[in-house]
Structure 1
Amino acid sequence: MSDVQNAAQQAAIERATAEAGASTDFSQFAGSSLPFGNGQVLLDQSTGAPIAFVNEDNPNRHYLLDDSVSWHTSDQYWGSGYVVTTSGGSQWNTPQVYGITNGLEQQTFALCGAGLALDVTRSSGERLTERYEWRNVSNQPVTITGLGIQTPLNDRYPGARKALRECVHAHIFAGGDWSWVLAEPMDGRGARLGLIVTEGAINAYAIQSRNQVTYSDIRGHIVLQVTDYALNPDAFGGQPTITLEPGASYALTWELGWYADEDAFLAATIAPASFSSLSATVGGHIDIATNRAVTALDDGLTVERTVSGVRLTAEQAGTYQLQLVDGDHRAHTEVLFHKTLRDTVNDRARYILEHQVAYERVGALAGAIVATDTRTGQHVLDPSWDDWSDGSERIAMPVLLQRALNLGLLDESLREPAQRAADAWRTFAESALIDASGAVRRGSGLPESKFGGRIYDCPWIISFFTEHYLATKDAHDLDMAVNIADRAAEIGGEHFLSIEFAESSAALARVLKQTGRTEETQRLLDRVVVSADYFLGLGIDLPYHEVSYEQSITAPLVSLLLEAHRITGRAEYLDGAVERLDWLLAFSGPQPDSRLYGVAIRHWDGYWFGINRQFGDVFPHYWSTLTAEVLARLPQERRSARTDDLAKAIFEANMANYGADGSATCAYVFPSNVDGRSMHQADPLANDQDWHLNIWMRMIAEEGFSAL
């Protein structure tokens, strides 16, 4: 920008500041607040930025991050933000002009270098209305290519007790003019804080403050984006640019309110469309009831007009972006068409056998099944990075091969090679992953001191040996499974919420009972009950499990209590499970997007398991199916069409993680960018995602849950 242009811009900003006529004596606003509904927003005494949303019925709930969080500062206060234009970039945090009178707050920010000024107003009422208006104060057109607002919701895990009592899950739907955010208490109870866009659009969201620390308890700062064209122009179906002539402006308005439950919030969003489903098998269809015109943004999606809206079909599996248009109003979301479960299992089995068995290794190690870079076919093994080892979560793949064989799902051409691979994996596991005591280590490259170092792996290997016995009737498999279960108990398994502990114990106990091994059967079942008693006694004080609190702690807890109820028939276990089901379902949002609906929030797996080692929201992540598993295992009297539909939607959503050739991704990092790195893309590593298929198959075989 020339000196003349810069001077003209500065003069325009000064005129705007003078015209606002607001006091700049910040001290008089110390402790200011604006009431809305049965709560209020507290404002920073220096800048007027919202620093807390307080609900009278739930005063201990912290909906926003506060200064007690070391990585949260005034630079990320609510309403701060950034803009990128053809004139330059700018951030805003401290207003040049600030005033508050009669329930109305006004701020003006000079966005020097960007050619813009920003006016912000907040007004009280039943809902708090926030309006952001960016004005072109230069003497030339300005095109906005990046524009984001900080909304630092308190989505983090400071430990189970604190999380359940104070924190919220932030469910974000960045759907253009149909956009909203729901801040849901982590215990699933009490007032929800809902944000609904009423003017303008949110076309993406980003996460900041995420990759500076390698732990999994923080989600980061959430930034709602009008556009992220500058960093990721193709994200969320394509990002817009906004051109403002001199004197023109762009406005974004949203309303914040308190809602008793999810249904009340969704009703307030006044959705412009409703979907018969967000996922369907190839050859099926999705119906959308809407008055808007619907356009496919991706090739391969067919849109046909019907009496009440449109019908979507696709001949190829994949996710498809679509746009819903009414005049200047534009919304966007995505749907999924996928293969059947049987076809997907066969695709994965074929790919595993061709690309993920470590045939190049010597001896028993050649039976390992490992992570693979789908871009090159190269095996990814690193004994120094546990989540790229030849054990742990990779156990999903031999379990998939053996379970699919046992259920009769594999094509004839795959049956013999799949069984050979499962047999070879048994040899590998016994020689490299399990010691004589039954203790397990995460990978063959780790020292012997690591045996017994991770309880998580025990139920997964137990599942494999149980499935292998069903195929071979070799009693040695049961001996191995029992030995591993006994050793896991010795090293603390009853006080640890291992994923699939309840399910693998129940499955092994059934087989042991059928073979007359009654003493071992009872020992396994007794451990489930003892563990259930222990965790019931803890209440909300759940212990740390690699992450301080997360969905894959809560789901195994609910499953454990359900299994204890099945074993004993005692009501306290079912009552405890139902109470904690609220905690579990709070992780899952109702966004009308095939990757998001019902899918639990997880925001660290891309870093630990992906080849890009990238933190950020992963949607869908395969452990989200633990929620579906719990819903499928509810007693019949506690199930409903709603719980069954939600379970089905979660199972279907995870079909997005498989390629047409049977390749896969361990993590789709969903935000448009994370700490300035473009995301909204799949990590190329096929690693551990097959637990989704394993759980779905188990629910069909053991719970009668319907398949596609």
Structure 2
Amino acid sequence: MQERTMPEVDRTLRQLTFGHGMAEIDPQTGAIAGFSNVDSPKREYLIDADIPWHSPDFYWGTGMVVTSKGSCSWITPTTFDVTSNVETLHFDMGQAGLELDVTRSGGDALTERYVWRNVSGGPLTISQLSIEAPFNNYYPSAQKALDECVNAHIFAGGSWAWCYAEPMDGSSPSLGMIVRKGALHSYSLQTQNESVFSNVRGHIVLNVTDHAISPDSFGGQPILHLQADDSYELVNQVGWYASRDAFEDDVDAPASFSALSSPLGEGIDVETALDVNADNAHLSIEATDRGYRIGADEAGSYYIHLSGEDYSACTEVLFYAPLEETVASRVHYILDHQVASYRPGTLSAAIVSVDTRTKLQIIDPFWNDWTDGSERICMPVLLQKALNHGYLDDGDSIRAQRECDAWRDFAESNLLDASGASRRGSSQPESSFGKRLYDMPWIAQFYCEHFRASGDMHDLDMASRILNRLTELGGQHFLSIEFAETCECTARLLREQGRGAEADGILDHVLSSADFFLGLGRNLPPHEVAYEQSVVAPLISLLIGAYRITGESKYLDGIRSRLPWLLSFSGFQPDCRLNGVAIRHWDGHWFGIYRSFGDTFPHYWSALTAEVLLRLPEQIANDGTLALAARILRANMANYDADGGATCAYIFPSSVDGRAMNRADPLANDQDEHLNIWLRMIEEEHLSIR
């Protein structure tokens, strides 16, 4: 191997300038250690080099390759030089039969050119080719995340591929990367393991191909074939952008879709000059004057391929069964497979998780997300809502109401104490009552729904008791999901029964909580994780509730200033699983059978963003917020099967820590809150879309 000719250098970083910012170059490896912009000097667009779980092995532009001759990673080059705002690096990778030349040129944008050349002396295949892109998608605390970190939105659609790293507070500038030559066919996550829990998305890896690990992911991963002396070239453009619109203009997308998720019976129009095809008998593709119309005769998500001369792209569209049908089939499945009827006494009314492969129920008293309480509460709520909406046939209506009545007894015997405090499951210790505040609004939701069916004042008493007890336990200082919405619902029902004073007391909880969090500004306390989309959504919901109650401008101003925080989580990729869907990357580990960390798209709590958008005051709401809310709700229909089965987690990346993903976890667990939110938005006349 050729000797390295790199000169001895000090530890300071070199720089390539582009636009109003720069790329900071590590002097030992030539890799990019950071991106910075003079207009936002505190923002770190890449993971800080001083963070313990980050190292030069993951710096921007390092990578790995697997070929028919061997495999290797590239980190330290044989030679590199930086002159006149241009960096050149050369890597000898003889064990893989390759050499790599990298050129980075500054200017208005940073242009990166990677050229892998076959030096093996014969034909060579490449089954893995991956480049590190360690965007700083990290949640150390709310304050630090909002001030310094980014949400990274990735579209690896082949020749149509890009990344967009947006400040977590929704400000500018954002850092965008666009593939100008070559292709990225998927992305992966590394070091996304339990040691860093839920506050770290992991190291993002961009794959020219991930065939060696996950050949069928993202519509199929290619194998690259190089003859002797042939090369593969990837050219990326990295630049600064003031908005998503400006970035999308620069991407110059080769196709536009009328929708990415559509009800069965409706078509999706694709405007493009490329050819469009799909290898699936359930799809129909018809040419139109401006492109193609896609239809489906069976619900599901489908890969669509777009091709032209030296161009190949792939994305995913969804056709879903109508909402009423989806709810009815889901309720039927729950009644058949998820009611724990074999258990003794009141425990027999619990509704639990199920392995959809075998129909065996899954209960684990000490794995909190597999208990018979907590997030499983969404299922009895869905049963009662489906009944109240009249979505069930006569047989399931009788069964569902009987189950809801029994579940109320189960909850009072096993999940609630006399004060109205809850615990996470029937087998949890007595000392755990009131320790997890998230669950209490969800049980109160159930009582509101059950009261609408029964008219039994006991239900309303229980809903009121639970919400008052939540406040006694410190709930006004905790962003419980659905707290504001449940308080509003309970107060409305109380007022209808002539219990106005109680209603005012419940709404006072909303006001005191809204004032507390308004006073904290960006310094939000940690919840189960340090910071996440499902912290920001309940925060804005509180402020919406407080504004509805009082009409005070401070709440309206608070909503307006925090809404960009929420929208920064939501992707805008042309993919049915990503468009509008908020970044979440831990739910598969806690809720699924595979217990896999990794981006979960779509995850049902993304519907919280839709709920916020649909509840916005008229001074802020517009056609765009309504359309985005509809896209989010529709995207989540990907989580339900035609037979009423479901998945709690679709792990989206092609691989995570070397394990093939891009698959649905077989556990039906907690995903039904999405349907509850959609039904509630219909009840409150925020949404007519089905």
Same fold (TM over 0.5): yes
Q: Give 1:460 deviation, angstroms.
A: 0.2
Identify the match of residue 223 of structure 1 among 197, 205, 209.
205
Q: Distance in 2 between matches of 1:108 and 1:696?
A: 54
CA contact (8 A) 1:374 1:684 kept: yes
SS in 1 for 2:448: helix
Q: Distance in 2 between matches of 1:113 and 1:619?
A: 37
CA contact (8 A) 2:5 2:78 kept: no
Identify the match of residue 525 of structure 1 among 496, 507, 511.
507
Identify the match of residue 243 of structure 1 among 225, 238, 241.
225
- State the one-letter code of the partner of 1:211: N
Q: Distance in 2 between matches of 1:386 and 1:416?
A: 31
Q: Give 1:397 deviation, angstroms.
A: 0.3
Structure-2 residue corresponding to 1:5: none
1:126 corresponds to 2:111: no
CA contact (8 A) 2:33 2:49 kept: no
What do the CA deviations read for 1:485-520 (whole angstroms, capped 9, x no partner)?
A: 111111100000000000000000000000011121
SS in 2 for 1:255: strand
Q: Give 1:31 deviation, angstroms.
A: 3.0
Structure-2 residue corresponding to 1:7: none
Q: Give 1:38 deviation, angstroms.
A: 0.8
1:335 corresponds to 2:328: no
Gapped runs of 5+ residues in structure 1? 1-9
Structure-2 residue corresponding to 1:295: 277
Q: Distance in 1 between matches of 2:595 and 2:433?
A: 26
What do the CA deviations read for 1:245-266 (whole angstroms, capped 9, x no partner)?
A: 1111000010000000110001
Q: Give 1:407 deviation, angstroms.
A: 1.7
Q: Give 1:409 deviation, angstroms.
A: 2.1
CA contact (8 A) 1:85 1:142 kept: yes
Structure-2 residue corresponding to 1:256: 238
- State the one-letter code of the partner of 1:460: W
CA distance 1:325–1:368, shift in 2 (3 Å): same
SS in 1 for 2:9: helix
Q: Distance in 2 between matches of 1:244 and 1:663?
A: 45
1:430 corresponds to 2:438: no
- State the one-letter code of the partner of 1:700: I
CA contact (8 A) 1:609 1:666 kept: yes
Q: Give 1:162 deviation, angstroms.
A: 0.2
Q: Distance in 1 between matches of 2:345 and 2:175?
A: 58
Identify the match of residue 271 of structure 1 among 253, 277, 301.
253
Structure-1 residue corresponding to 2:349: 367
1:304 corresponds to 2:286: yes
Q: Give 1:276 deviation, angstroms.
A: 0.4
Q: Distance in 2 between matches of 1:298 and 1:82?
A: 33
Structure-1 residue corresponding to 2:33: 51
TM-score, length of structure 2 as denominator length: 0.99
Aligned-residue RMSD, C-alpha: 1.1
- State the one-letter code of the partner of 2:402: R
Identify the match of residue 170 of structure 1 among 152, 163, 178.
152
- State the one-letter code of the partner of 2:393: D
1:445 corresponds to 2:427: yes
Structure-1 residue corresponding to 2:589: 607
What do the CA deviations read for 1:563-611 (whole angstroms, capped 9, x no partner)?
A: 0000001011011011111000000111000000010000000000001
Q: Distance in 2 between matches of 1:362 and 1:183?
A: 52
The percentage of aligned residue pairs carrying the same residue is 56
Identify the match of residue 40 of structure 1 among 16, 19, 22.
22
SS in 2 for 1:113: helix
Task: List aligned pairs for 1:171-186, cutoff 5 A.
Answer: 171-186=153-168
CA contact (8 A) 1:179 1:201 kept: yes
Task: List aligned pairs for 1:114-513, cutoff 5 A.
Answer: 114-213=96-195, 215-513=197-495
Q: Distance in 2 between matches of 1:577 and 1:635?
A: 9
- State the one-letter code of the partner of 1:680: N
CA contact (8 A) 1:197 1:253 kept: yes
CA contact (8 A) 1:26 1:45 kept: no
Structure-1 residue corresponding to 2:640: 658
**Greater mean alpha carbon deviation, residues 681-690 or residues 403-412:** 403-412
- State the one-letter code of the partner of 1:115: G
Q: Give 1:39 deviation, angstroms.
A: 0.8
CA contact (8 A) 1:289 1:310 kept: yes
Q: Give 1:66 deviation, angstroms.
A: 1.6
Structure-1 residue corresponding to 2:61: 79
Q: Give 1:181 deviation, angstroms.
A: 0.1
Q: Give 1:28 deviation, angstroms.
A: 7.2
CA contact (8 A) 1:208 1:220 kept: yes
Q: Distance in 1 between matches of 2:685 and 2:441?
A: 19
Q: Distance in 2 between matches of 1:26 and 1:397?
A: 64
Q: Give 1:29 deviation, angstroms.
A: 9.0
- State the one-letter code of the partner of 1:384: F
Q: Distance in 1 between matches of 2:335 and 2:23?
A: 57
SS in 2 for 1:324: strand
Q: Give 1:67 deviation, angstroms.
A: 2.1
- State the one-letter code of the partner of 2:247: F
Q: Distance in 1 between matches of 2:688 and 2:52?
A: 47
Structure-1 residue corresponding to 2:686: 704
Q: Give 1:298 deviation, angstroms.
A: 3.3
Q: Distance in 2 between matches of 1:196 and 1:703?
A: 41
CA contact (8 A) 1:351 1:661 kept: yes
TM-score, length of structure 1 as denominator length: 0.96
- State the one-letter code of the partner of 2:381: V
Q: Distance in 1 between matches of 2:524 and 2:280?
A: 45
What do the CA deviations read for 1:15-41 (whole angstroms, capped 9, x no partner)?
A: xx8xxxx95214179432111011111
Q: Give 1:214 deviation, angstroms.
A: 5.6
- State the one-letter code of the partner of 1:470: R
CA contact (8 A) 2:94 2:120 kept: no
Q: Distance in 2 between matches of 1:29 and 1:436?
A: 64
Q: Distance in 2 between matches of 1:121 and 1:403?
A: 59
SS in 1 for 2:115: strand
Q: Distance in 2 between matches of 1:28 and 1:512?
A: 71
Structure-2 residue corresponding to 1:4: none
Q: Distance in 1 between matches of 2:211 and 2:672?
A: 34
1:95 corresponds to 2:74: no
- Number of positions where the alignment pairs a residue of Structure 1 with one of Structure 2: 690
Q: Give 1:112 deviation, angstroms.
A: 3.1
